[in-house]
Amino acid sequence: MFRYTSLLAAAMFLVSLFGVTSFAKQGLAEQKLFNGKDLSGWEHYLVEADAKMTDVWSVQDGLLVCEGEPMGYLCTKKEYKNFQLVVEWRWAPGSEPGNSGVLMRITGEPTMLPNCVEAQLASGSAGDMYGFQGFVIDGDPARKMEIPDHKLGGHLRGLTKIEGNEKDPGKWNRYEITAAEDKVTLVVNGKQVNEATGCDVRSGKIGLQSEGGVIHFRTVNIKPIAQ
C-alpha cells in the first residue's frame, strides 16, 4: 500500500511538472502594448527631426490618436518574432480618411519606411501587405508586385489583398494578424484577407504609421507564440 501510494504521488508530481512545462511552452499571456493611459513602452521616428512625439501621437479619452503629420512611426521598445497581434482602428469621424499601417519585425536604420513587413491601413486598402527595404514576402503570384527601387521603400515587395472587408470611414475595424515563422496572415473584421509566405523571420519592433489622415487606435494587444 505504501509503495502504491508513493508511486501514485510520484506520478502525480510528474504530470504536474510536465503540465506546467507544457503550459509554459504553449505561449505567453496576451499583453496590452497600448495601455489606454499613456505611451509607456513606445518610442518614435519622425522625418522632421525637430518634431516631438507629442506633436503627432497623444492619448485622448482612452484612445491613441495619430495626427498623421509629420510622417513617421510609433514603435515598441521591445522586439517580437512570432505573435498574434490585434489592432482596432478607425479614421477620425468627420475627417478625411488617409494612410497608415501596422509595421512588424522592424529592424535596421529608422526611416519613413523601415526594413519590415507592413499590414496596410490606407483607407480602402486594409489587407494589402508590403515588405520594405528588401524585407522578403511571397505568396500568390497573381497578387504579387515588386519595385526594386521604390523612392521610400527601397526594394519593395507587395502582396495585394484577396478581398476587402473594411467598414465605412469613422467606424471601428479590427485587424487580427498572425506572424508564425515565415507565414503572416491578415484577418480584417473576422475575414481572412491576405496570407504571405516565405517571409523573413527575425525579431523586430511593432509600429504604427503616421502617414496622412487622423487615425484612432483603441486596442493594440499582442500574444507571443512559442515556437
* pTM for this predicted structure: 0.87
State the Cα–Cα distance between residues 99 and 194, nearest whole angstrom: 19
DSSP class per residue in the chain: -HHHHHHHHHHHHHHHHHHHHHHHHHBPPPEESS-SS--TTEEEEESSTT--HHHHEEEETTEEEE---S-EEEEESS-BSSEEEEEEEEEPTTS-----EEEEEEESS--SS-EEEEEE-STT-BTBEEEETT---B--GGGEEEEEEETTTEEEEEE--SS--PPPTTS-EEEEEEEETTEEEEEETTEEEEEEBS-----BEEEEEE-SS-EEEEEEEEEEB--
Cell numbers for 207, please give them. Answer: 509600429
Query: Whats the size of the chain, residue-wise?
Result: 227
- pLDDT confidence of residue 27: 53
Output the tens digit of pLDDT for each of the chain's 227 residues: 434 444 444 444 443 444 433 333 445 799 999 999 999 999 999 999 999 999 999 999 999 999 999 999 999 999 999 999 999 999 999 999 999 999 999 999 999 999 999 999 999 999 999 999 999 999 999 999 999 999 999 999 999 999 999 999 999 999 999 999 999 999 999 999 999 999 999 999 999 999 999 999 999 999 999 86
Are 222 and 85 in contact by the 8 Å Cβ rule? The answer is: yes
